[in-house]
């Protein structure tokens, strides 16, 4: 049966520093490296072994994938990277301290920017310090200046449908190593979560989440691999 494993990258340097990250390319912390390895050990222990991998173009997700696959003895599987699995773009908030923004704008405003369905953060100024627009890896695309979860869904879901779902339907065990909000986009779709309820969904770092699909490609309930 097709199986889907979703992993959010391990703790990043800016998760640790409590800074809005989005498309900025930060590395894993030591704790993040350990979380990624632990995810791989868990897959090995449970015998849930990916046969093909998808990840974003961002270092923290790519490294998490590699560390986990190494622990699982699966570094050799095919791997596809695509910007459409990138984190949601945090606009003009990128690089700023989350607590400082709460102090300045209030908890509610910051919660809306972080978790609302369709309110994007203020736009990033083109060419500003944390604008990835000139990064070679994005040469072929128009890098956004901000994204809400809704806008993130608008690029994650078409990719899911065109590139990942057909692979899964072949009976593969697919791992996607991605980000808090690109994975919220996918989980919202797969678990049929409403626009209101999605505001309450958090995806923890380094914890594999699994969906088993039936032969008509309908996903079952999602579960944490550690609980299976
Ligand atoms: O900063 C970010 O890009 C994300 C994920 O780390 O943060 P948030 O929890 O606010 O979605």
Interhelix angle 59-72/30-46, nearest 10 degrees: 40
| Residue of 11, 64, 87, 148 to mutate, ligand 1, most atoms within 8 A of C-beta | 87
Q: How confident is the model at residue 217 (pLDDT cuts 50, 70, 90)?
A: very high
Contact in structure between 49 and 173 (CB atoms under 8 Å): yes
Question: What are φ and ψ of residue 179, in 5° steps?
Answer: -135, 160
Total domain count for the chain?
Answer: 1
Q: Report CA(60)–ligand 1 centroid distance (Å).
A: 13
Active-site residue list: 9, 87
| Mean pLDDT, range 141-148, rounded to an integer | 97
- Is residue 114 marked as binding? yes
Pairing of strands 79-81, 223-224: unpaired
Q: Whose CA is nearest to atom 6 of ligand 1?
A: 15
CA of 20 to the centre of ligand 1 (A): 6
Residue 186 belongs to domain with CATH number? 3.40.50.1240
pTM (two decimals): 0.97
Q: Tokens 């994005």 — which residue? A: 138
Nearest protein Cα to ligand 1, atom 8 = 114
Q: Is the CB of 121 under 6 A from ligand 1?
A: no
Domain around 51: 3-227
d(CA 32, CA 11): 4
Reported as a single tens digit per residue, the pLDDT across 163-205 is 999 999 999 999 999 999 999 999 999 999 999 999 999 999 9
To the question of whether residue 102 is assigned a binding role by annotation, the answer is no
Structure confidence by residue, pLDDT tens digits, 76-135? 999 999 999 999 999 999 999 999 999 999 999 999 999 999 999 999 999 999 999 999
Residue 113 Cα: closest atom of ligand 1: 10
Q: What ipTM describes this predicted complex?
A: 0.96
């Amino acid at each position: 049966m097709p199986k889907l494993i979703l992993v959010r990258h391990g703790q990043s340097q800016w998760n640790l520093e409590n800074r809005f990250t989005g498309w900025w390319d930060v590395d894993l912390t030591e704790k993040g490296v350990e979380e990624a390895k632990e995810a791989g050990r868990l897959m090995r222990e449970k015998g849930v072994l990916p046969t093909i991998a998808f990840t974003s173009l961002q270092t923290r997700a790519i490294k998490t994938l590699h560390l986990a696959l190494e622990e699982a003895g699966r570094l050799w599987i095919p791997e596809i990277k695509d910007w459409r699995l990138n984190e949601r773009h945090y606009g003009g908030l990128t690089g700023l301290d989350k607590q400082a923004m709460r102090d300045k704008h209030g908890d509610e405003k910051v919660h809306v920017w972080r978790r609302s369905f369709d309110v994007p953060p203020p736009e990033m100024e083109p060419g500003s310090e944390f604008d990835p627009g000139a990064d070679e890896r994005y040469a072929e695309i128009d890098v956004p200046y901000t994204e809400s979860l809704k806008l993130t869904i608008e690029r994650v879901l078409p990719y899911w449908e065109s590139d990942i779902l057909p692979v899964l339907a072949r009976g593969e065990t697919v791992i996607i190593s991605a980000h808090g909000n690109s994975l919220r986009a996918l989980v919202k779709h797969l678990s049929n979560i409403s626009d209101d309820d999605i505001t309450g969904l958090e995806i923890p770092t380094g914890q594999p989440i699994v969906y088993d699909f039936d032969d008509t490609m309908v996903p079952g309930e999602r579960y944490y691999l550690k609980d299976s």
